[in-house]
């Protein structure tokens, strides 16, 4: 049977970004879940229980190549090239103070996350979006009201924190390892379960969400 290239991509990543991407793959393998191949998770492979791994390190002219290749029997690995895409969109806009902000709007019209702060430079706002896209999918979830701590293994460079506000509503925020809050739900929930549903929506929709810049009328702060 001839080779059939289902997906191929190449992009520049920082060491941190590369580690986050590889953790997504490792987490899916460890849980027996379909492994996301692309950033949006629209191409996946449901790997067999056992497979071959080939690691190759070589130097070519002025470039060092580290290649990791995983193989499974075709009849034991299910490929899905039309997996569910993101159902949300990042909106990048300028507020009334000419600060750049972002929000993640679900296709149903609800805002499911926002950055919580304004940026003087649009590039910084985009960097904030990219950080959420990298870290949200693999972030552990902890209940800070119960003094829970994230496991040392797995996860990403950020953690979802569940907490209660002064009105006794449940909320979530996504805190980076550097201490900065990079996203929050923007609303309180009557139950912890509802708050978890909200952050799970961000986990599943943020990675593949497109970034749009609404016009002035649409982009005004709500």
Q: From CA 54, how far away is CA 197, in angstroms rounded?
A: 39
Q: From CA 143, how far away is CA 152, in angstroms rounded?
A: 16
* pTM of the full structure: 0.63
Taking Cα atoms as reference points, which of 118, 108, 131 lies closest to residue 211?
131
Question: Both 51 and 125 in a single domain?
Answer: no
Domain boundary pick from 41, 58, 80:
80
Q: From CA 170, how far away is CA 178, in angstroms rounded?
A: 24
Per-residue pLDDT of the chain (222 residues; tens, 9 = 90+): 457 888 898 888 788 778 877 877 887 788 787 888 877 677 889 888 899 999 999 998 889 999 999 999 988 888 888 766 788 999 999 999 999 999 999 999 999 999 988 999 999 999 999 999 989 988 899 999 888 888 877 788 999 999 999 999 999 999 999 999 999 998 899 999 999 999 999 998 998 788 888 653 344 444
Largest pairwise CA distance in the chain: 63
Question: Both 124 and 194 in a single domain?
Answer: yes
How high is the pLDDT of residue 116? Answer: 85
Number of domains in the chain: 2
Domain span holding position 38: 15-80
Asked if residue 8 belongs to a domain, the reply is no
How high is the pLDDT of residue 40? Answer: 65
Asked if residue 6 belongs to a domain, the reply is no
Asked if residue 2 belongs to a domain, the reply is no
As given in the structure block, the two tokens for residue 72 are 């499974």
Taking Cα atoms as reference points, which of 92, 155, 95, 96 lies closest to residue 127?
92
What does DSSP assign to residue 34? Answer: P
As given in the structure block, the two tokens for residue 198 are 């909200």
Asked if residue 51 belongs to a domain, the reply is yes
Domain boundary pick from 80, 110, 137:
80
Asked if residue 4 belongs to a domain, the reply is no
- Residue 173 belongs to a domain with what CATH number? 2.30.29.80
Question: Both 76 and 96 in a single domain?
Answer: no
Asked if residue 187 belongs to a domain, the reply is yes
How high is the pLDDT of residue 30? Answer: 84
Contact 129, 90 (CB under 8 A): yes
- Count Cβ atoms below 10 Å from residue 149 Cβ, excluding itself: 9
Question: Both 178 and 119 in a single domain?
Answer: yes
Question: Both 150 and 58 in a single domain?
Answer: no
């Amino acid at each position: 049977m001839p080779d059939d290239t289902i997906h191929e991509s190449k992009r520049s990543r920082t060491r941190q970004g590369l580690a986050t991407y590889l953790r997504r793959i490792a987490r899916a393998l460890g849980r027996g879940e379909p492994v996301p191949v692309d950033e949006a998770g629209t191409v996946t492979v449901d790997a067999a229980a056992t497979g071959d791994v080939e690691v190759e390190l070589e130097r070519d002219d002025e470039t060092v190549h580290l290649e990791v290749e995983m193989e499974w029997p075709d009849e034991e690995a299910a490929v899905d090239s039309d997996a569910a895409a993101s159902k949300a969109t990042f909106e990048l806009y300028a507020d009334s103070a000419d600060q750049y902000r972002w929000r993640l709007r679900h296709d149903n019209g609800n805002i499911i996350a926002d950055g919580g702060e304004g940026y003087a430079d649009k590039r910084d706002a985009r960097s904030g979006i990219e950080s959420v896209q990298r870290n949200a999918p693999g972030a552990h979830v902890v209940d800070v009201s119960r003094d829970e701590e994230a496991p040392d293994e797995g996860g990403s460079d950020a953690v979802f924190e569940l907490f209660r506000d002064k009105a006794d509503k449940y909320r979530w925020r996504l805190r980076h390892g550097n201490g900065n809050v990079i996203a929050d739900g923007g609303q309180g929930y009557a139950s912890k379960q509802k708050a978890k549903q909200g952050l799970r929506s961000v986990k599943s929709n943020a990675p593949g969400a497109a970034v749009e810049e609404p016009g002035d009328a649409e982009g005004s702060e709500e």
